[in-house]
Chains A and B, each alone.
Chain A
């Protein structure tokens, strides 16, 4: 079993998966944010590689990609950031990247470098399983988990294909659209969990729009095995980019609150 799989196996509450963008606001700032997330109690760290055209992301994460690229983030720097985290933590690390980054590097090479840097899983946002044969093969060879998404619009037929390609956990998009913190939790999240649950033994982690402790509690009650929070964290990085100490405290507090809401 992979490190990601073990998280879900050992926890008796849903896992908290925290997303940050490598190099946002800079290499040291990212590291401070990652440390705060981990110390606050995140179970899995998801690290985004910034891309010039992040079409699956809303404004908050787009701005983070822009900041990181403006600060000079590269694919080499991305792998360095993973190594930075590995120096002080054994937390499972999931990489979230856009397809062209992997394609340009060469699929097999990217996976080899990811493993060498200390990654445990890969999620390629704009790569449905139909286009993912080579990546899935590379993931098997390097023993990385390859995570795919299911959305409210995913048909039953395609869901089968998604489930067959996925390992580690299945990422459920709680709503149709792009990433971004929302005030209200989408009603579709619960519906999607109920639809997918009987078809798989994979853990189900819900993402997109989750920003508050009450969202976490509601998803726990709806049967989620994990929740993924990105924009709400990235927003804290953005707001306090000039004061890393303050940023770390804010993030720590936020993660502790979300974690608490998943317990009990």
Chain B
């Protein structure tokens, strides 16, 4: 198999200017990734600063309603309010070990931008975050958070003015600034080594889940569900279970329904294509032009997906499905009411899928949902959609 490939997917489809930087990053990741000083430093940031391990919560009420044993992996309780910090602390620390002087990042919902701003602030690295103008408008509080923590938010006015274009702009910046700058990519997408590196930093979710469920139940779960935007929280919880007989279910953004064409379901409705440096499932037209996407959850509003997910789809190891905006909004309300936990709209997609398929599980079946983030960032949007509080 070629370097940086997951089956036939992945690779390094970037301009020549970036090849040196990717090589340097790969080397640093392999080196420091096994360096005790790096690993113990990361571990202490994760424990003392970020709040790991996050709890695995048994949902008494939801379990009763759905007729199976439902657990939530509480990434919503991680500092910053989402799983994103696992990756940004890992990469920012790596950048520091590499002697980089500046971090850049893209963000859609603002969660990854916030997590990068947090990591930059605590590690003393200046941060610049590219964010589409459309997203800046719909995620104001996160813009303010980033700025409070000293990050500079750079509006992106090209293309669809959303996440995809923010990645384009960050890649353009990086091509011109590779010497001093680390591009802190926010999901398991992009050219090698990003998908591998981000998976490594996010796998802490699955490793903890495994230990926690074994302690609580004395056995592995029957199924694990996670939402899939770029795919980092999903790979993070799936990866340590790939060799086990555990059903793994990835839930994409069905938007207004797959038939409507307004969605973000690249695995369910896309075809292999190359965007942002990797070959993976992509929403594209017959000429290979990338299509614009839609999701009520800004973090799932992305036309591509991590290459490892593409492989896991083709091998059949992971089932990929989608739920609509409406179903996600219902699940958002359901979890809030039943368990007193307001989920991120992204994570609500996984809850919605569980609610829809609960009939497939028996009373003693154990199902874990990765609650990738909390819903505070979505309150204004949900209120608006409901026609005001």
Contacts and interface: CB of A to CB of B under 8 A. Distances in A.
A58 interface: yes
Given A100-B288, A177-B172, A126 B274 contact: yes
B17 interface: yes
Given A149-B16, A151-B17, A173-B17, A104 B178 contact: no
Nearest to A178: B172
Interface string A152-194: 0111001000100000000001011110000000000000000
A217 interface: no
SS of B interface (majority): mixed
A148 B16 contact: yes
Contact of A101 (B19, B168, B177, B288): B288
B274 A99 contact: yes
Interface in B150-192: 158-159, 164-165, 168, 171-172, 175-179
B286 A104 contact: yes
A240 to B, nearest CB: 23
A55 interface: yes
A6 interface: no
Contacts of A127: 13
A128 B19 contact: yes
B290 interface: yes
A105 interface: yes
A150 interface: yes
- Category for how many chain A residues contact B: 35 or more
A99 B158 CA distance: 20
A58 B176 CA distance: 11
Contacts of A150: 16
A173 B289 contact: no
Contacts of B274: 98-100, 103, 126
27 contacts: A53-B290, A56-B17, A66-B158, A66-B159, A74-B287, A75-B288, A99-B274, A100-B273, A100-B274, A100-B275, A100-B288, A101-B287, A103-B272, A104-B284, A105-B288, A126-B277, A128-B19, A149-B16, A151-B19, A153-B17, A154-B16, A154-B19, A155-B20, A173-B17, A176-B177, A177-B172, A177-B175
Interface of B: 3, 11-17, 19-21, 23, 158-159, 164-165, 168, 171-172, 175-179, 272-277, 279, 282, 284, 286-290
